[in-house]
A and B are shown apart, each in its own frame.
Chain A
Amino acid sequence: MEKEKTSYQGQMHLLQKDMMGRYFERVTRAAEAGEGKAVYMLISGNPVELIQAFDLIPVYPEIDALQLAVKKSALPFIQKAEELGYSMDNCAYVKADVGLFLGDRKTPFATIPLPSLILCNYVGCNVYLQWFEHLAEYCSGELYNLDIPFLRDPSGVPSKEDIVYVVRQLEEVIEICERLTGKKLDYARLKAIVSRSSETGDMWSRIKALTKNIPSPFDAYFDSVTMMAPLYCLRGTEEGVRFFETALKEMEEKVRMGTGPLPEERFRFIIEGPPPWPYLRTFRDLFSKWGAVAVASTYSTVGGLWEFGFRHDPNHPLESIAQHMLQWNVTNRNFLQRYQQIRRYVEEWQADALVIHSVKSCRLFSAGQGDMREYFTKELNVPTLLIESDIEDPRYFSEAQLKNRIDAFFESLEHKKILHAGAEAGGAA
């Protein structure tokens, strides 16, 4: 049984490793052999479809920073940036990336090329604007701020003017890409790419719905990460589609077999906030020992939110890229929309609790999470745990402190479960 589980997980993981390996090889070739031109973009709601249509190479400084953190090599870069005047209190993703950018841009996973275009897709995160502004000052790449109006209307949807504004800007990005590549946009090709994004979104959304099963076939936080890289770097490509076909099949098989990521699923929780990349495994183990599985996470919707029905529309490629950027990702939605997103997860994914992982670096996510806790505990009676560390900076991870809080939380949750079961049994008798 255990053996089968491993082999099912293996396929998807191997494929992911293989694809990301090839992606980083392409990135490295651009840096070292000048093959192709790099476009820097940010993860949140990005228009990668346009970049794929021009055969430009999407490079994501966030993914580079993330990889540095996972490989435990971020700190020297962070410190280098701090020596240059960046504050202890600035986002460490930016600092790690700046430290890397101002050096030889060599990492254990790739050599990062200089950008031909620095395309700042300003989707929610204000730090994005500064991050790319800084990179642009450090090199000769052209900077374009693709401004995405925040979802500020009580209806939670973008206005007609918002959509027009974004589409007009996308047309300007197309002009820049045409100039960079010397090629006209092949509209039919863009439609085909957008169509593959739509397929990918559909499969991703079906994969995410599978965690409604008990037990959940995978961990929607720790395992989703495996699927997020192809979703962002390779969305709109053939191999991206193939990856998600494999992933969906594997996960459906796990549901049929009734297996999950842990030998026993004892608690189902929703997790809000980005993960502590430098200590991901340690962090995961703190939950696994309690049999706690994340059945949904807001972090896995940073790049796009497909599980509530959004699909790219190949017949209206620019409009649907605009919709994706404006409305269908967690970062451009207002804070109260995030409360509602989590509420849906708690209810529809049948969770026992909410865990808020507050990271200092990302204030977009974290600022005000105390109010979120207030809402879930006081208004909705959902047991909620708020813990703090960081997404990138290893200096903010205190294992002992996190362990104490997590243990105390699940102990009390277990106690409640026993009482509840007792009351139900008593009621039945």
Chain B
Amino acid sequence: MTTVENLITSYRESLENSPLQIAAEYKHQHPDQKIVGCYPVYTPVELIHAAGMLPVGVIGAGNRLEIAHADSRFQSFVCSIVKSTLELGLTDKLNFLDGIVFHSICDPARNLGSVFKRNFPNLMVEYIHFPQNMTSPHSIDYLIAEYRRLGASYEQLSGKKISDDRLRESIAVYNSQRSLLRELYAIRRESPQNLSTVECYILTRIGTLIPPDEHIGILREALPELHRRNEKPKDRIKVVLEGSFCEQPPIELLDGLESAGCYILDDDILTGWRWFADDIETEGDPLRNLANAYINRSVYSGVKHDTREPKAKHLIDKFKETGASAVLILAAKFCEPALFDYALYKRALEKEGIPHLCLEFEEKMWIFDKARTEVETFVESMLFD
């Protein structure tokens, strides 16, 4: 196996067993390093980093954690990630965190923030209300104030001041990380036979669990090797995947989707860690730059409501730009934002004559036959049509 393959295999095992273990081990080795967990989707990680702390993605628990306590707190009709996150807390698996941040992405996630506050009084629980008015010129000032409030909270937690220069440096660090991730995604988009979705996912996901500098190092080492790959394309249809911006599909499922006959050219998985289509400005007022980036330059997701364009526009654009031949909607079960979006996507895709398939998943699922069969049938209908 090559270096990259070795790396991916070893990380895959940890991610499948217990995704946060990588971050917990880091804390074990660096006991003085303060760590702040970031619930999906969007976190201005730069603020946490500039306060000398490590932002870590708390993005579900995978499919090997038994939910034994959280299901008495959150009902059966609430999505898996809300319950698995609480279960992690209730079973002491988040003890390595000094803080955690939730956002105004959906109603269950919002209430989860409160439940965390009550159940884990030693953890600093923050909550960001992201503006949902993208047309008012006052939204930026509001968001700057919100980031300033958050920054003050993180200064208190870390005992370190967030100076403008430190914040600019952090923006630059995450700009590098995001730019390398864009390069990674470009490889898959151009030649999906050279980079599988699972590989792409693992290389992205580890960036949510280790310091950004280390992740940048890993990507810098891996990318040249990936660029050199020269595999023969298989007879698969090319698709764009949408709907998994928060709860993450199991790695086996991603594997299954591709081996059932798809090349996934683009997706919205882990979108919160690559939420800008280009670099955030490092010159000038860094808080304003961060706020402006959210309002004017962040990528679309089902929980950011931008009335400036129709709901499905970004998806149709993505479909056309990548040269895909179909759209795969992969929505988490009980995820209201993704399921609502689907109704509008369906309408728009049908209008444009774009074939699509909608599948529901749960992070805790471990049988994939049904999904696989559905994708196979869909692919066959496309290939032999």
Tell me the A residues contacting B by CB distance below 8 Å.
81, 84-87, 89-91, 94, 98, 122, 125-127, 129-130, 133-134, 136-137, 143-147, 149-150, 152-153, 159, 161-162, 164-165, 168-169, 172, 334-336, 339, 358, 360, 362-364, 366-371, 374-375, 388
Binds A, one of B23-31, B136-144, B271-279, B285-293: B136-144
Which residues from chain B contact A360 at a C-beta distance below 8 Å?
75, 77
Q: Report whether B74 and A367 are in contact in the complex, using a CB–CB cutoff of 8 Å.
A: yes
In the bound complex, how far is the Cα of B303 from the Cα of A146, in angstroms? 16
Q: Report whether A145 and B133 are in contact in the complex, using a CB–CB cutoff of 8 Å.
A: yes
Which residues from chain B contact A87 at a C-beta distance below 8 Å?
339-340, 342
Q: Report whether A363 and B78 are in contact in the complex, using a CB–CB cutoff of 8 Å.
A: yes
CB contact list, B60-81 vs A, under 8 A: 71-75, 77-78
Q: Report whether B311 and A133 are in contact in the complex, using a CB–CB cutoff of 8 Å.
A: yes
Known: A129-B305, A367-B107, A370-B74. A137 touches B133 (CB 8 A): no
Question: Separation in Å of the B11 CB from the closest CB of chain A?
Answer: 32
In the bound complex, how far is the Cα of B248 from the Cα of A280, in angstroms? 39
Which residues from chain A contact B132 at a C-beta distance below 8 Å?
122, 129, 145, 147
CB of B44 within 8 Å of the partner chain? no
CB contact list, B130-176 vs A, under 8 A: 131-136, 138-139, 141-142, 145-146, 149
CB contact list, B267-313 vs A, under 8 A: 303, 305, 307, 310-311
Tell me the B residues contacting A by CB distance below 8 Å.
71-75, 77-78, 82, 104-108, 110-115, 117-119, 127-129, 131-136, 138-139, 141-142, 145-146, 149, 303, 305, 307, 310-311, 333-334, 336-337, 339-344, 346-347, 358
| Option from B108, B141, B342 in Cβ contact (under 8 Å) with A85 | B342
Q: Report whether A126 and B342 are in contact in the complex, using a CB–CB cutoff of 8 Å.
A: no
Known: A169-B136, A336-B114, A370-B73. A143 touches B337 (CB 8 A): no
Q: Report whether B145 and A85 are in contact in the complex, using a CB–CB cutoff of 8 Å.
A: no
Q: Report whether A145 and B307 are in contact in the complex, using a CB–CB cutoff of 8 Å.
A: yes
Question: Separation in Å of the B151 CB from the closest CB of chain A?
Answer: 14
In the bound complex, how far is the Cα of B107 from the Cα of A127, in angstroms? 8
Question: Separation in Å of the B295 CB from the closest CB of chain A?
Answer: 11
Question: Separation in Å of the A154 CB from the closest CB of chain B?
Answer: 8
Which residues from chain A contact B115 at a C-beta distance below 8 Å?
335, 368, 371
Which residues from chain B contact A388 at a C-beta distance below 8 Å?
75
Q: Report whether A367 and B108 are in contact in the complex, using a CB–CB cutoff of 8 Å.
A: yes
Q: Report whether B114 and A334 are in contact in the complex, using a CB–CB cutoff of 8 Å.
A: yes
Which residues from chain B contact A89 at a C-beta distance below 8 Å?
77, 333-334, 336, 339
Question: Separation in Å of the B152 CB from the closest CB of chain A?
Answer: 11
Which residues from chain A contact B136 at a C-beta distance below 8 Å?
147, 168-169, 172
Question: Separation in Å of the A326 CB from the closest CB of chain B?
Answer: 11
Q: Other CB < 8 Å A-B pairs besides A159-B149, A367-B111, 4 of them?
A: A149-B131, A165-B145, A363-B107, A371-B118
Instruction: Sort A-B residue pairs by CB-CB distance and give the 10 closest, nearest first.
Output: A335-B114, A161-B145, A367-B108, A147-B133, A87-B339, A370-B73, A152-B127, A85-B346, A165-B142, A368-B111
In the bound complex, how far is the Cα of B134 from the Cα of A329, in angstroms? 24
Which residues from chain A contact B118 at a C-beta distance below 8 Å?
336, 339, 371, 375
| Option from A91, A161, A370 in Cβ contact (under 8 Å) with B72 | A370
Question: Separation in Å of the A215 CB from the closest CB of chain B?
Answer: 34
Which residues from chain B contact A375 at a C-beta distance below 8 Å?
118
Which residues from chain A contact B108 at a C-beta distance below 8 Å?
363, 367-368
Q: Report whether A94 and B340 are in contact in the complex, using a CB–CB cutoff of 8 Å.
A: yes
Which residues from chain B contact A137 at a C-beta distance below 8 Å?
310-311, 344, 347
In the bound complex, how far is the Cα of B75 from the Cα of A197, in angstroms? 37
Which residues from chain A contact B142 at a C-beta distance below 8 Å?
149, 161-162, 164-165
- Nearest A residue to B138 by beta-carbon distance? A168
In the bound complex, how far is the Cα of B115 from the Cα of A375, in angstroms? 10
- Nearest B residue to A146 by beta-carbon distance? B133
In the bound complex, how far is the Cα of B146 from the Cα of A165, in angstroms? 11
Q: Report whether A367 and B78 are in contact in the complex, using a CB–CB cutoff of 8 Å.
A: yes
Question: Separation in Å of the B381 CB from the closest CB of chain A?
Answer: 19
Which residues from chain B contact A86 at a C-beta distance below 8 Å?
339-340, 343
Q: What are 13 A-B pairs with beta-carbon distances under 8 A?
A: A86-B343, A87-B342, A94-B340, A126-B303, A127-B340, A129-B305, A130-B305, A165-B141, A335-B115, A336-B117, A363-B336, A367-B108, A371-B118
Question: Separation in Å of the A129 CB from the closest CB of chain B?
Answer: 5
Q: Report whether B119 and A371 are in contact in the complex, using a CB–CB cutoff of 8 Å.
A: yes
Which residues from chain B contact A370 at a C-beta distance below 8 Å?
71-75
| Option from B71, B135, B336, B346 in Cβ contact (under 8 Å) with A127 | B336
